[in-house]
Structure 1
């Protein structure tokens, strides 16, 4: 399946947002996620099925001000 991850094209074999995060090295990280502009909370990622062409944003919290 072809996706956009943080603006870059990626291909993945899994089906869910959790599968993508693990495949791309975000498995245990504290991150915020959005699919096609819609926020997906951490507890719902395992059940969020991705579709070909989806755009996923993964953001890590930053300190500062």
Structure 2
């Protein structure tokens, strides 16, 4: 009976460690996705800024 309890405890401990590792991996992946999305938004904002500057230049030439 004691061996069974020890084995069960080891299995539960392993299970908890796996769950924690999966949680950590999901957290890292989430951070990676957030960083990637922020980089994309930064690039899009820079493109909008360039287009606004081009528009200002054209408008100044028209006036």
Same fold flag (TM > 0.5): no
Q: TM-score under structure 2 normalisation?
A: 0.16
Please tell me whether Structure 1 or Structure 2 has the larger radius of gyration of its CA atoms: 2
Q: TM-score under structure 1 normalisation?
A: 0.16
| Greater relative contact order, per chain length (Cα 8 Å cut-off, separation 6+) | 1
